[in-house]
Amino acid sequence: MPQVVMLRPPPVPFPPPPFSPSFWLRNPHLQTIGGARWIPVPRPLWRQEIWASPDGDILQVERLAGASDRPVLTLFHGLEGSAESPYIRALANAAQALGWSVVAPHFRACGSRLNLRPRLYHAGDSPEIHWILRRVQAEYPHVLRHAVGFSLGGNMLLKWLGEQGEDAGQWIDRCVAVATPFDLTAVGDHLTRGLNRFYGLHFLTTLKAKARAKHAQFPGSFDLEATLAARTLRQFDDHCMAPLHGFRDASEYWERSSCLPLLPHIRRPTLLLQARDDPFMPPCALPSRQVLPPGVTLDLQDQGGHVGFISGILPPRADWMPAHLLDYLGRFLPPSQNGHNPSE
């Protein structure tokens, strides 16, 4: 009698079914504000470290230990976010549940300690991404290493990937960027219109507090009076971010820092998760699928707001996005490293 060979079905192609919010969370502003303010996400049991940066500064880093044979996930937060942002907490908790290690740096001055140098953090700081990922590689040389960037952190990560090209594979295996402001000029100007002005003004509140503290450290390093009078992100960046980080003005800062022109040069498998209704993003800021290299997947959801993707009714939940991202990353892993039981 001939032997019967049982073949496993091929894996389900990515992406899985699309995001679908509950009826009362279909508004993109509810998604955006709800994701940032309303969803209770348990705080991970972080272990805090202070890393010395190559330029003599300090970086506050939160970590979770995982199994020695499973991946490490590095998370980069967005503008005025931190490792305590709900989206970072939710993804860190989900990754730890799979046995993965997590590294969540705070960008300069975004943790509980003000950094030491006459600078803050900025959207084009790919050298910051570089030294962080090099250190992670040195500490985890024998497992897969993935990275996820959110919003501003997504732009920084994608800019670094495009600049590194094939060389990025020395330090990272696969990446995800969520709600990325690919074109900073288009997004910055978009945040001055209509209801979107609320978000720009919200960011300015904490940015001005950081500017005041930095100016107290380094008097005269930028025009504090003009910075505190800023009514838009462009004005703030003209008077504070540009002079602190070596740019002529906000226009040069935004143009040189945008990741959009570098996307065709990315050579690592990368997922770009975006929502069409993201209130931060005018349609012109999104990349065309035609310019993306074969390994870069544009996952364009109809709804989700800006880093929202909140589902459920009562209580609303923040579990769709972590599951979605880890599903993408886990499809490239053997069962021994992705934390799933192969018999399931």
- Write the pLDDT tens digit of every residue in 210-240: 999 999 999 999 999 999 999 999 999 999 9
Contact indicator for 155, 180 with CB cutoff of 8 Å: yes
Task: Residue 200: give the domain boundaries.
Answer: 192-257
Q: Which residues contact 288 (CB under 8 A, 6 or more apart)?
A: none
Is the domain of 143 the same as that of 154?
Answer: yes
Query: Do 281 and 294 fall into the same domain?
Result: yes
Q: Is the peptide bond before 315 cis (omega within 30 degrees of 0)?
A: yes
- Judge whether 85 counts as a catalytic residue: no
pLDDT at 23: 84
Model confidence, pTM: 0.92
Asked if 83 and 221 sit in the same domain, the reply is no
Cβ neighbours, 10 Å, residue 167: 9
Residue 333, pLDDT above cutoff 70: no
Round to whole Å and give the CA distance between 33 and 38. 7
> Is residue 173 annotated as a catalytic residue, yes or no?
no
Q: What is the domain count for the chain? A: 2
> Model confidence over 13-65: pLDDT tens digits?
455 678 989 888 899 999 998 877 778 899 999 999 999 999 999 999 999 99
Q: Is residue 306 among the annotated active site residues? A: yes
Q: What is the pLDDT of residues 56-94, one digit of tens each?
A: 999 999 999 999 999 999 999 999 999 999 999 999 999
6 within some domain = no
Mean predicted lDDT score pLDDT of the chain: 91
Q: Is 230 helix (H, G, I), strand (E, B) or coil?
A: coil
Of 237, 306, 311, 324, which is the active-site residue? 306
For the stretch 106-123, pLDDT in tens is 999 999 999 999 999 999
Lowest-confidence pick of 49-58, 265-274, 330-339: 330-339
Q: Are residues 303 and 224 in the same domain?
A: no
For residue 15, what pLDDT is reported?
Answer: 57
Provide the H-helix boundaries in 248-312. 250-257
259 touches 182 (CB < 8 A): yes
Strand partners, 140: none
List the one residue out of 95, 109, 79 whose CA is nearest residue 46.
Answer: 95
Q: Name the domain boundary from 235, 257, 279.
A: 257
pLDDT of residue 11: 42
pLDDT per position as a tens digit, 280-312: 999 899 999 999 999 999 999 999 999 999 988
Residue 10 lies in a domain: no
**Same-domain check for residues 290 and 157:** yes
To which residue do tokens 């069962």 refer? 335
Question: For residue range 140-178, what is the model confidence (pLDDT) as tens digits?
Answer: 999 999 999 999 999 999 999 999 999 999 999 999 999
The CATH number that applies at residue 318 is 3.40.50.1820
Q: What is the pLDDT of residue 317?
A: 84
Q: Which of 190, 278, 299, 324 is catalytic?
A: 278
Catalytic residue, chosen from 126, 151, 257, 311, is 151
DSSP codes of every residue in 153-208: HHHHHHHHHHHHGGGGGGT-SEEEEES--SSHHHHHHHTTSGGGHHHHHHHHHHHH
Asked which of 230, 257, 284 is the last residue of a domain, the reply is 257
Pair (247, 264) in one structural domain: no
